[in-house]
Chains A and B, each alone.
Chain A
């Protein structure tokens, strides 16, 4: 130190060396020592927690970013899945609609066929009933006509057929029988 002093003393010559910068050497050394101490203190006690804090912060941010990315991916996957489900649901709904339409058409066609058959049956029955009624009426009319003719004939014959005519009738009948 003592050996250096003359050098610094030499250097502190205001005209040459460091003295040319107009620096106080003592003050400079003191400040340098202080700086070194502060640096050591900073390095020993301040910097590690600070670095740790920064590292933690960085880690947290990284984790957050990773999570955000994962979340985004999950969201994308969920959206894709939802889209797929929706598409499938649409297809199923379309199929169900088509099936329902087809089934409805079949039911309507079946109902129409049944109605047509029923109508044809009713018409046929009505025709048969009409025919039966007509036949019955025809037969009744014929029976009444037969009664009428027979009664009229009987009445006339009772009036006109005397014993003489009857004898002729009997003779004719006997010839027919023979």
Chain B
């Protein structure tokens, strides 16, 4: 008798496995099987977000997407990494850099638990709203 697992449960299971030393490939295989069995293949992206959240909430790993108009220098990346460690209270940080000219300037940091938007475009939007 098959029991359908929730996405949250799967995320917890994956975090447990990864933190327990299982290889990412093995965990990914198990998750794929679970998604196929429950016909929830479309939820794969959301499941990854949930796993990130689980890992971050356990203080182990935070995945952060950093968006800026120009590529970040190495020193800036280090600053961002240490900042995210501090904000998310995790031991490791994985940065995903994203270049977007529409932000004009500044930086936007997105993690599983929150977003810090200090881009010029966001400031302009806030200015519009305030006016």
Contact = CB atoms under 8 A, between A and B. Distances in A.
Contact of A177 (B72, B104, B118, B131): B118
Interface stretch (A68-76, A85-93, A152-160): A152-160
A129 to B, nearest CB: 26
Interface of A: 142-143, 145-147, 149-150, 153-154, 157-158, 161, 163, 165-167, 169-171, 173-174, 176-178
A169 B128 CA distance: 20
21 contacts: A147-B128, A149-B128, A153-B124, A153-B127, A154-B121, A154-B124, A157-B105, A157-B120, A166-B69, A166-B70, A166-B106, A169-B106, A170-B72, A170-B118, A171-B79, A173-B118, A174-B83, A174-B107, A174-B118, A177-B87, A177-B116
A174 B75 CA distance: 12
Interface string B101-115: 000111101000000
A170 B68 contact: yes
Contacts of B69: 161, 166
B104 A174 contact: no
Interface string B63-88: 00000111011001001100100110
A153 B80 CA distance: 27
A149 B131 CA distance: 9
Contacts of B104: 154, 157-158, 161
A152 to B, nearest CB: 10
Looking at A150, A173, A177, the one whose CB has the most chain B CB atoms below 10 A away is A173
A142 B131 contact: yes
Contacts of B76: 167, 170-171, 174
A137 B121 CA distance: 26
Contacts of A176: 118
A36 to B, nearest CB: 156
A150 B124 contact: yes
Nearest to B76: A170
A166 B105 contact: yes
Contacts of A165: 105
A154 B119 CA distance: 12
Given A157-B120, A174-B83, A177-B118, A169 B105 contact: yes
Nearest to A166: B105
A176 to B, nearest CB: 7
A170 B106 contact: yes
Given A170-B76, A173-B107, A149 B127 contact: yes
